[in-house]
Structure 1
Amino acid sequence: MVTLDVSVPSPRSLEKARLFFGEDAAAAAHEEKEDYRRDSIVQLVKARGGWLAVFFVGLMLAALVVEAFESMLREHVELSFMLPLIIGHGGNTGSQSNATIIRSLALGHIKPADWLTVVWKECVAGTWMGGALGLVILGFSYIWSGMSAQVGLVVAISLPIVSCWANLLGGLFPLLSVQMGLNPAVTSAPLMTTCVDSTGLLIYFLVAKVVMGI
């Protein structure tokens, strides 16, 4: 049986929303269910389109990074096989970190002054998770004819670095958004993804240059 949550936010939760996300976000938390049904598509586009346009320009940096290492990809085509994995993993782990911090802010468990704790926990967690997945890829490279063990090693080294970096940004951007009076639910996740896509590729290619002696 499917049930719907129609509970009304408590005064305490609304006060926390005002504290961390501003008065507008607190009002949105109170009227979100009704307001969304009344909002037109034009209103939704106006609320989100500006930020997405800014982030779209940032995403073009990823294309420039790939272009800068075009000769490397031509000589070692198998490196291109792992590009979606590097980008996807960075975005996934950063999004998890981002959502966790936003929820903790809304519940009052942390505040921007706790940024050092956030940095430490997210970096260590990201490194562990990326390292574990990197070892899986390294082992897989020994049984997959489409990827050499050398490229597997490149991925195994790159993943924990990218994961740590993505978690760092995913944890810090909500805190910075709150500090600047912005809504972290709208700005921090796309900004994190934009940064991780381009910098994650850069990390991957630089590790490949060192490991493969290119």
Structure 2
Amino acid sequence: MRALAPLLLPLLASAAAPLRPSPPASRDTHLCRKPALPIAAPPLRLRGGSAAAASPLADYSHASLASLIVSRGGWLAVFLLSLSLTSLVMSSFEHTLAQQIELAYFVPLLIGHGGNAGGQTVGAVLGALSAGQVRQADWAAVLVKEALAGLGAGSLACVAVLPLLLAMQISRHVSAAILITMPTLTVMASALGAALPFAVAAMGGDPSVIAAPAMTTLVDVGGLLAYFLIARLVFAVFGKKMGDAPADAKKGH
């Protein structure tokens, strides 16, 4: 036993010693090991104090057919009456179209392109608002961002439509008017598509019902007016006279 004492004493001493506290875990380790608490996903809501519905999907699933007709039909009627302004614009430039019939060929193309560009922007902004990615206070930054995106997209559209102008042998002054109008119209449509959801939500309306048709109406009327005004300026640069009635039209009157 005396011979084993030197070997056993250190073992007994270490066993009797108090356990040392383990070093505290770092903050990152503690956070990583902390169990995640289940958090219920908040309902979709347009931030910034708007009066939009808490959950568009839930509201739609419980909406009756009559309420959908009333809520949409009224606004569609208003915008339909507003679209009558396009007839006023066309009649104001009747003599211009009579002199330069090539301008009329591209009215549907330009107006349709503006509606497509604005529709893309409205959808993107509504999705960002519903997901909480942007707030009402971010409207200016979103407006500038979408306008610049519209300028780039409109420039690319010019490259796409240029072969069509060459294939149709459109005159240079009309081609120049179209190529200038296209990016201008895209910027206008993108800016309206970005601004209208914020404006409608700030006024307590439903952007999903109002923003898109309002954008389409404004782009149709404003785009048509911009097209003819730009054409008038471009034609003046090329030495083409516009705005006067043709000789046969004057004789008829």
TM-score interval (norm. to shorter): 0.7 to 0.9
In 1, Cα distance between the equivalents of 2:96 and 2:183? 22
Within 5 Å, give how 1:6-17 maps onto structure 2. 11-14=40-43, 16-17=45-46
* 1:212 and 2:235 are equivalent in the alignment: yes
- Secondary structure, counterpart of 1:108 in structure 2: coil
**CA displacement at 1:76 relative to structure 2:** 0.6
In 1, Cα distance between the equivalents of 2:157 and 2:108? 14
* 1:108 and 2:132 are equivalent in the alignment: yes
* 1:142 and 2:166 are equivalent in the alignment: yes
Q: Which amino acid aligns with 1:161?
A: T
Distance 1:170 1:47, change over 3 A: same
Distance 1:11 1:179, change over 3 A: farther
Q: Which has the larger radius of gyration?
A: 2
Give the aligned partner of residue 151 of structure 1.
174
What TM-score, normalized by structure 1, do the two folds share? 0.85
**CA displacement at 1:139 relative to structure 2:** 3.9
Which of 46, 51, 58 is the equivalent residue of 1:30?
58
Residues 48, 136 of structure 2: 8 Å contact kept:
no
Distance 1:59 1:111, change over 3 A: same
Aligned length: 199
In 1, Cα distance between the equivalents of 2:68 and 2:205? 17
* 1:125 and 2:153 are equivalent in the alignment: no
Q: Which structure has greater helix proportion?
A: 1
* 1:190 and 2:213 are equivalent in the alignment: yes
Which of 56, 77, 80 is the equivalent residue of 2:80?
56
In 2, Cα distance between the equivalents of 1:106 and 1:20? 13
Distance 1:31 1:18, change over 3 A: farther
In 2, Cα distance between the equivalents of 1:133 and 1:60? 28
What TM-score, normalized by structure 2, do the two folds share? 0.73
Could you list the runs of 5+ residues in structure 1 that have no partner in the other structure?
Answer: 1-9
Give the aligned partner of residue 200 of structure 2.
177
- Secondary structure, counterpart of 1:142 in structure 2: helix
- Secondary structure, counterpart of 2:176 in structure 1: helix
Q: Percent identity?
A: 35
Residues 170, 189 of structure 1: 8 Å contact kept:
yes
- Secondary structure, counterpart of 2:43 in structure 1: helix
